[in-house]
Amino acid sequence: MIDYVNKNAMKNKNPKHPALVTREWLRDRLLQPDSNTVLGRALVAILNRQEDDEQSEATTIYRNERGFTAFDAKIGTLAATFFRDKGVVPPNLVKAWTKPMKNGFPRICRYVNQLNEVAVETARSRAEKDAKRFGQRPWPLLFERGVYAQ
């Protein structure tokens, strides 16, 4: 999911909150043929943001706005660990995560802000690695990828 650049990212001029992942973009990506991979990578990214004890107990203990909500903790942890181990999200869990809610967006879109933070962090670290490898400043690379340096 993070490998794909959101075309609308270039429209966002706020350097502190570039929008690489939006609800609309995520909804559209889930309609593509590789939606199982996109969903699985998103769930793993959210799971990785949870505290270790929350991950092991498949619940939410801290109200730090990181990881799954208390309502989604068990199903999210189950789907993410299954994807991490087997490389696929089971069809019943895909259905649960992609079913539109009242607002018309899939359930996974609740976590779009966290996914955007992960995408921005990943893009910045990749740009810095590429800059070191090619011996140049990372800012032009960040601009090309839609992530603006602070």
* Residue 86 in domain: yes
According to the model, what pLDDT value does residue 4 have?
Answer: 40
According to the model, what pLDDT value does residue 60 have?
Answer: 73
According to the model, what pLDDT value does residue 16 have?
Answer: 53
Tally of domains in the chain: 1
Domain that holds residue 76: 17-144
Count other Cβ atoms within 10 Å, centred on residue 121: 12
pLDDT in tens, 18-61: 678 889 999 999 998 888 999 999 999 999 988 776 666 777 76
Directed axis angle between helix 91-98 and helix 73-86, to 10°?
130
Question: Tokens 């068990």 — which residue?
Answer: 74
Q: What percentage of the chain reaches a pLDDT higher than 90?
A: 41
According to the model, what pLDDT value does residue 9 have?
Answer: 45
* Residue 5 in domain: no
* Residue 49 in domain: yes
According to the model, what pLDDT value does residue 44 have?
Answer: 94
* Residue 10 in domain: no
Question: Please, is 60 exposed, middle or buried when counting C-beta atoms within 10 Å of its C-beta (0-12, 13-18, 19+)?
Answer: buried
48 vs 4, more confident: 48
Asked if the model's pLDDT at residue 104 lies above 60, the reply is yes
* Residue 9 in domain: no
Count other Cβ atoms within 10 Å, centred on residue 149: 14
15 vs 75, more confident: 75
According to the model, what pLDDT value does residue 19 have?
Answer: 73
